[in-house]
């Protein structure tokens, strides 16, 4: 039986800075960029989203985190009454701003690296979900019926997307937001 585990991600117990810098140096080399080891080492502590603009500003790389996930229904963390701090309108607005940056390469929170179409697909999905919720809500359709209808519709529009269990959370969020 295991009696203890040491989890040292950031080099607090074991000095892993050189290994981390070497890994970045090899990754850059794999992408065709020869960079100075010490220059990379001096930047350790920053995430990839902060390293790319330092070393490859001309590449126009955008790290989206979980705002964008490739072929994945948006994970809308809506769990009333305690966890309802998601804001679909602001999420859409942020995606509009990100798309306006005209990234060449988009690194999503999950899935394969792609282009700006990844941002647009998630934005369009969220906007369509919001708009269809509003239509059903204004027609007096109860939330549970709206979930059922939109779950089927979104699955048919995006048959190759994963995590369809999040569709209902999105519907409920936009329904509550009115």
Domain limits, the chain: 1-57, 60-177
Give the tens place of pLDDT for each residue, 47-58: 777 888 888 888
Domain 60-177 class? alpha beta
Task: Please give the pLDDT value at position 53.
Answer: 82
Amino acid 10: pLDDT: 62
Q: pTM value?
A: 0.78
pLDDT in tens, 24-34: 899 889 878 99
In degrees, to the nearest 5, what angle opens at C-alpha 102 toward C-alphas 162 and 35? 95
């Amino acid at each position: 039986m295991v009696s203890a585990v040491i989890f040292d991600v950031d080099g607090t117990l074991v000095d892993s800075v050189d290994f981390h810098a070497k890994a970045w140096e090899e990754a850059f080399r794999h992408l065709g960029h020869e960079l100075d080891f010490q220059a990379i080492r001096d930047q350790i502590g920053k995430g990839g989203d902060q390293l790319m603009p330092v070393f490859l500003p001309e590449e126009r790389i955008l790290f989206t985190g979980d705002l964008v996930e490739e072929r994945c229904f948006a994970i809308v963390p809506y769990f009333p009454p305690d966890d309802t701090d998601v804001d679909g309108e602001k999420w859409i607005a942020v995606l509009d701003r990100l798309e306006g940056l005209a990234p060449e390469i988009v690194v999503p929170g999950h899935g394969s690296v792609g282009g700006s179409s990844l941002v647009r697909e998630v934005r369009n999905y969220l906007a369509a979900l919001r708009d269809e919720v509003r239509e059903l809500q204004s027609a007096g359709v109860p939330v549970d019926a709206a979930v059922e209808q939109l779950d089927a519709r979104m699955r048919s529009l995006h048959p190759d997307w994963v995590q369809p269990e999040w569709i209902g959370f999105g519907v409920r969020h936009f329904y509550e937001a009115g």
